[in-house]
Amino acid sequence: MIALALLCLALAPAVYAVIVLWPQRIPKDRTVTAIRRRVESEVRTRHSRGDVYGG
């Protein structure tokens, strides 16, 4: 019975650490590729309308 209690006490922090530190998936609109596409799209839209970009 003591061994079971010690096992639970040792496993609890390990399980907690895995849950907290497990990497989460990045949403598709937050990836580098998606941000680059959005910025390029904005640049193309501004240039086609004649707006000044970058200032």
Domain that holds residue 19: 1-51
Q: Residue 5 and residue 44: Cα distance in Å, rounded? A: 64
- Count of domains for the chain: 1
pTM comes to: 0.44
**Residue-wise pLDDT tens digits, 9-55:** 999 999 999 999 998 888 888 899 999 999 998 887 776 666 655 54
Q: What pLDDT, in 10s, does the model give residues 3-22?
A: 999 999 999 999 999 999 99
